[in-house]
Structure 1
């Protein structure tokens, strides 16, 4: 997140992404690492399904949605 110069800016971006993803895809999402680094955020996403294919499809859609967002981020 190179456009941010502070933890406050990072938190705003992370909160925006996590709220949108949680509401749109009905998944659990939270920042799980790199809490003290303003340049990097590690976000964990979880979904529950009785069909592995469906769960993988949802997680793939979430990754695509985040990658296509207007934020300057890289999904690994």
Structure 2
């Protein structure tokens, strides 16, 4: 089993409230969930109104597929232009004993 996880950081230009940030975060999460079969959650900077941290995770047997899927999610979120992508960190975790 392979687990791909990614932490994404965004800067929210022109925002001046947590309410505005929540609206953008909710839209980002909903759109990713509707388009991709991944888990997504806000994982940090909850009280900072111009900073967004999202975590994205996917599980499967094929590391190339997981990597490609996460890269598609990153490109998709960046293409929404709701916030500026400033950093991404990806990790692939191998769990169990498989034959690959």
Structure-2-length-normalised TM-score: 0.73
Instruction: Report how many residues are paired.
Output: 76
Larger relative contact order, structure 1 or 2 (CA cutoff 8 Å, min sep 6): 2
Per-residue deviation, 1:49 = 1.0
More strand by share: 2
Which residue in the other structure is 1:8 paired with? Answer: 19
More helix by share: 1
Structure-1-length-normalised TM-score: 0.94
Which residue in the other structure is 1:24 paired with? Answer: 35
Structure 1 runs of 4+ with >3 Å offset: none
3-state secondary structure, aligned to 2:85: coil
Between structure 1 and structure 2, the one with the greater Rg is 2
Q: Cα gap change, 1:75/1:55 in structure 2, threshold over 3 Å: closer, same or farther?
A: farther
Q: Cα gap change, 1:22/1:63 in structure 2, threshold over 3 Å: closer, same or farther?
A: same
